[in-house]
Amino acid sequence: MTLLTRRAMTTAALAGTFLPGLARAQGKKPIVIAHRGCSGERPEHTALAYERAIEQGCDFIEPDLVVTKDGHLVVRHENEIGGTTNVASHPEFAARKTTKVIDGQSLTGWFTEDFTLAEIKTLRARERLPQLRPISAAFDGQVQVLTFDEVVAIARAGTQRTGRTIGVYPEMKHPSYFASIGLPVEERMLAALKRNDLDSATAPVFVQCFEVTPLKTLRLKTRARLVLLVSSEGGPPDLPGVKYADLVTAEGLKAVAAYADGLGPEKTMVIPQDADKLLPATSLVRDAHAAGLQVHPWTVRAENYFLPTSLRRGDATAADYLAQHGDVTPMLKALYAAGVDGVFSDFPGLAVAARG
């Protein structure tokens, strides 16, 4: 039993309640993180997606956080919301369509920082990938965009309902960009952690980011667990010239451990694959564990479109073949066998079933 686990159990005992989800998050069993909720079956980042994920047995629900004009943290995959809401159908907002450069990429659409929370609340969520996920798209227009506090409330209601601890796993999106326009994410994140009693190392929360500097800022001000997200390509937007590959060497991981508790790698950095099949595991999990980091790879998806040919299923001549579901169990089992501490999945029920 680790010191962290002993502390967590002591805290739970003092509270009079054992927290099974929290124990799993600290190494007893890999945690299942519902990526944007059960986003393979319901529009992402909605109450519908989060509730379904909880029903399927997830341990954490993941909200991506962006900022409104009046400084609220709202839950969208990106600050551009033309693809995930019905904003385009609101004539009163037509003039707000614009083009911006976000982390070096030019995007045209509608952006959360140009709307107040009250205006955002008049919109309705919709499926981002309707061709791949028509079942989810059938729920378009039914629910509002959530705030981070509302997601925490969903997790707590799920905890009460199920008897399992449901944690939250927020991602700070584009913090350097938001800081550049006078809407820094970090202080709002810290305030939200404190407001929701999540500002401790034993709280059921992980805060994640693809940028390094915001995590270093948070490390000085909170003991909530922090996770550096890394991709197989590119590098942190806040550190020009630095590649993620530089950060996941054995020495690089030791430096990461000075400001983060975990690593969130793209799943192919743990279990590589070619067009046809999965390949043997890399040393990344072992190296990260040696540096004292947990490892939570992203993102396992069930559609044939995302899978190597050996895991695809169904009629290859069918028009919807790429939207049909393949067999992700071997991928999940390979990740678990590699020793990961958790997995992100758009289909948390499948990840729970493969975990056993």
Task: Give the phi and the psi of residue 192 in degrees, each rounded to 5.
Answer: -65, -40
Q: Is residue 125 part of a domain?
A: no
Which of 75, 21, 68, 20 lies closest to 43 in space, CA to CA? 75
Q: Is residue 247 part of a domain?
A: yes
Q: Is residue 113 part of a domain?
A: no
Q: Is residue 58 part of a domain?
A: yes
3-state secondary structure of 8: helix
Q: Is residue 168 part of a domain?
A: yes
Q: Is residue 109 part of a domain?
A: no
Res 7: pLDDT = 36
Sorting pLDDT into bands at 50, 70 and 90, what band is 152? very high
The string of pLDDT tens digits covering residues 3-36 is 333 333 333 333 333 233 333 344 579 999 999 9
Placement of tokens 């969520």 in the chain: 125
Tell me the CATH number at 259. 3.20.20.190
CA distance 83 to 77: 10
Placement of tokens 């530089």 in the chain: 246
Is residue 37 within 8 Å of 45, Cβ to Cβ?
yes
Q: Is residue 307 part of a domain?
A: yes
Range of the domain at 163: 3-78+145-355
Q: Is residue 119 part of a domain?
A: no
The pLDDT of residue 279 is above 60? yes
Give the residue ranges of DSSP H helices in 47-147.
47-55, 117-120, 134-137
The string of pLDDT tens digits covering residues 245-259 is 999 999 999 999 999
Q: Which residues pair with 278 in a beta bridge?
A: 273
Domains in the chain, number: 1
Please state, rounded to an integer, the average pLDDT across all residues of the chain.
93
The burial of 180, by beta-carbon neighbours within 10 Å (0-12 exposed, 13-18 middle, 19 or more buried), is given as exposed
